[in-house]
Structure 1
Amino acid sequence: MKYHSKTPEEWEKYDEEKEKKDYIKKMHKRRQKINNILIIFISILAISLIMISKYYFPRYNLGFSILLNGISFSIMSEDNYTYPDALNINVNMFNTKSKPEDMKLDSFRFKIYKITKSSSEVFYNFEYPKIIDYKLYPMESKKIFDLKNINPLSKIPNGKYIIETAFNYNGRKIRLKKEFNYIHSIKYNIYLEKGFYTENERAKLYIEPKNYSAEIKSINLIGDIEIYTKKRKLIKKIPINLGYVTLKPLEKKEYSIILPTIKKGTYELYFVSKELNQAVYIPFPVTDKVERKLKNVNLSVDTYLFYPINETFKGAFYINNLDFKKERFLEIEGYTIRLINIENNTIFFNYENKDKRRIYISEGGKTLINIILPEPPVKLSIPGNYKLIFTVFANENSLEKDLDLYVGISQ
């Protein structure tokens, strides 16, 4: 067996390489130790959070919505209601799974209580101790409880309220909770006389306070009109003092302000009332050119294509901007809305508006031209096929949109 010695240079190189390897091993061990400590720390933290959540947030009591075994349960309610709004509140279940679920619900309780400075008092209470059996199909939503149908409530006292519901689902306890406010207050609405203005015109702004409360209220109509650019730069601030006004419940009054001229641009206009801590916003478009040709726009209608017989007709009618890069400043000469019964070839409903009107439409946006509401009712009492025709007229051309509707007996 032969032995080979190393030169001093070789031994030096060997020692350097060994030192590097030892350093690398040492660093690796240190990192592994740090990783192990982190894993242990994260595990302890996770266990602690689970224990804390079980103590402070018991299972099935996690707020107004919960998902359990693929079934979602939730309280559906607005956060704020304003007098005289009806309380549109329901308890809902939804099957997120791809297979049906046999639902067994029992011991259902629902209550609303009011929060005061010193205590709380039950405002509404409902209990249904019987068992409810229901097969909830995939992606099906079903109301468990609907306050509006069971006991319509509106015009309730001002204040903060809590909704609580509890019931058993297949032997498991479900508890849900949600808060809402019912507000009695004066609120402002503002609007411009025209859809947009030109640079040489002084805009007319209307300020409309309305008393959304059950009591007579007085308010000092004082505040500031603030006009900002799109980049939130304040360019005008106009102090307003219209004096005191007294309003009966649901009464409103209208006041007008003439604004100074302003150069071309699309602005944000606010009326700020410090007394009521309110800021009401509307867009304020100003242009140097009025369009009178209906180009790169179309019409659309939101309505039902099928109506049960004797149902009330309703619909919303829009002009849409097909240009996603350019605002539109259109002036129309009027519009018509006609509903024709095809079998009888008779006009069932006819509305005609010949007022000249300015329409501002943002880039790629749409603007409401007319809305037909259930009041006054347009009752569809004759069954059959109908043609709905919406036409807008301008100085140089016109646009038309038609839809086929059917009125019949629902099965």
Structure 2
Amino acid sequence: MQYFSKSPEEWQKYDEERKKERERREQSKKRIIRWTFYIVIFLSMLVFIFIIMGRRGSRFDLPYNVVIKGIHINLESKEEYYYPDNLDIKVTIQNTNNNDSHVEINNFSFLIVNQESSEVEYSYVFSQPVEADISPYKTILVFDLLREKEISDLEKGTYEARVSFILNDESVNLVKTFEYNKGLIIDVSAKEMFYLTTEFPSISILAINGTNETFNKELFGTLTIKQKEKVIHSQKFSFGTLNLNPLSSIPLDFEINKNFDPGNYYLLFDFDSFEQTYVTTLNIVNQIDRNYNDISLLVYVISAASRGDQLYFEGLLRNSNEEPKAFEISQVIFRLFYEGQLIYNYENNDLSRVYITELGTAKVFDLSNVKTINLDRSGEYEIQFSVNIGDKTFSKKHTVKVY
């Protein structure tokens, strides 16, 4: 692939024109990193406080999630939406008590508000009282935005979903913030989770036109590779002019013709043609690990569900060693049984690389990426999940009861 689309004289002129702009953006990045460090410390302190408080009480409230006298109220929404996705926002109530609970809802209102302008994009009001008896641990749907209105063409920005109502004479106010993305979207990632010191790293760049208009513009900029704050490598790149129809995408490959010493690196892609910066990581190791004694398998899955609920399942590998681990997975198997009968089978035999930081975890399977499964029958489901690494198999069994 030819990355240089300008003559040396043009690049020199371009560098002079953009020097001040890059310096300003570099200072901005340093401020972001510094404040991110402070925020991480602050959040760590909050987690410690929540752990201490959790031992003294049964719950703590979030802006979008509260519990009142055993009644769990939740405002559900994704963190990010991409044009032309419909906003999928729900309000649910669950009875966490051991006996039936009676609920009465009055003066229900729901708003979508632009956080920057405070403009109301959508409003729904239902002032009449609604009553229901909820059996123990059952969840009921109070509000579903998709049933009321399809909202799929917001301007790019940050929005708030706001809900307020009276529940059994107590005020409930919930807020959930989400981003709505509209424009050229760039996804940058290393093709492999790690590379050997003898290999040239390859980067995958996916350009998506997330608008209702044709995108026709040159895509060029600068790649800077850093280890901590030290610049290891820098080069200019250009993919020429992209002509993307609305909601179309194009994959772009980028090979770095350089070997790196073992370690962790940050890759900063400054797309100067539309003044955006994307960051990804690059992990370099001497060799592939063959010792799996410090590796264990974790699964995230519910144990009980209501009929019709979607099954969520994630498989992760945990590294209990204080050194990073880099190895290859040869097989991943997920099987779902209902009352002893196999109803879904997934098997992936493609060789894939996994890198796990010291004392960290890495996701190796997410059911939502391969299949949507609704638990549409009451009874007992069994999950069998296994991961093969070299000559070792890690496996878990889990039972989900559906009522």
Q: Is the 8 A contact 1:300 1:401 kept in 2?
A: no
Question: Equivalent residue for 1:83?
Answer: 83
1:327-346 equivalences under 5 Å are: 327-332=324-329, 334-339=330-335, 341=337
Aligned residues of 2:93 and 2:142 also touching (Cα < 8 A): no
AA partner of residue 355 (structure 2): Y
- The letter of the residue matching 1:400 is F
**2:258 counterpart of 1:263:** no
User: Are 1:254 and 2:251 matched, yes or no?
Assistant: yes
Quick one: structure 1 residues 274 and 316, their matched pair in 2 at CA, closer, same or farther if it must change by over 3 Å? Answer: same
Task: Report the RMSD for the aligned CA atoms in angstroms.
Answer: 4.7
Contact 1:340-1:386 at 8 Å conserved across structures:
yes
Specify which of 344, 352, 369 is matched with residue 347 of structure 2: 352
Aligned residues: 338
Partner SS state of residue 373, structure 1: helix
Contact 1:198–1:287 (Cα < 8 Å) also in 2: yes
* Shift in CA distance, 305/79, structure 1 to aligned 2, threshold 3 Å: closer
1:303 partnered with 2:301: yes
Q: Does 1:326 align with 2:323?
A: yes
Confirm or deny: 8 A CA contact 1:194 1:358 kept in the other structure: yes
Instruction: State the identity as a percent.
Output: 19
1:168-317 alignment, distance < 5 Å = 182-229=180-227, 231-259=228-256, 260-306=258-304, 313-317=311-315
Q: Distance in 2 between matches of 1:123 and 1:191?
A: 34
What do residues 190-248 of structure 1 show as CA deviations (whole Å, max 9, x unaligned)? 1222221111211111111112223332332212222111x222221221110111223
Would the alpha carbon gap of residues 311 and 87 (structure 1) be closer, same or farther in structure 2, given more than 3 Å must change? Answer: closer
Distance 1:158 1:198 in 2: 43
- Inter-CA distance 113–381: structure 2 relative to 1 (3 Å threshold): closer
Cα offset, 1:129, TM superposition: 2.1
Matched, 1:388 2:380: no
Contact kept, 8 Å, 2:65 with 2:75, in 1: the verdict is: no
Distance 2:382 2:93 in 1: 37
Deviation at residue 350 of structure 1 after TM alignment: 3.5
Q: Equivalents in 1 of 2:130, 2:374: separation in Å?
A: 37
* SS of match in other structure, 2:250: coil
The unaligned stretches of length 5 or more in structure 1 are 1-63, 96-100
Name 1:405's counterpart in structure 2: 399
In 2, Cα distance between equivalents of 1:305 and 1:174? 29
Provide closer, same or farther for how the CA distance between residues 189 and 124 of structure 1 changes in structure 2, counting only shifts above 3 A: same
**Which protein has the larger Cα radius of gyration, Structure 1 or Structure 2?**
1
Partner in structure 1 of residue 368 of structure 2: 373
Aligned equivalents of 1:169, 1:338: Cα separation in 2: 42
Unaligned runs of 5+ in 2: 1-62, 96-100
**Aligned counterparts of 1:328 and 1:237: Cα–Cα separation in 2:** 28
Amino acid at match of 1:131: P
C-alpha contact 2:87 2:146 (8 A) present in aligned 1: no
Q: 1:153 to 1:297 in 2, by over 3 A?
A: same
Does the CA-based 8 Å contact 1:210-1:251 persist in structure 2?
Answer: yes
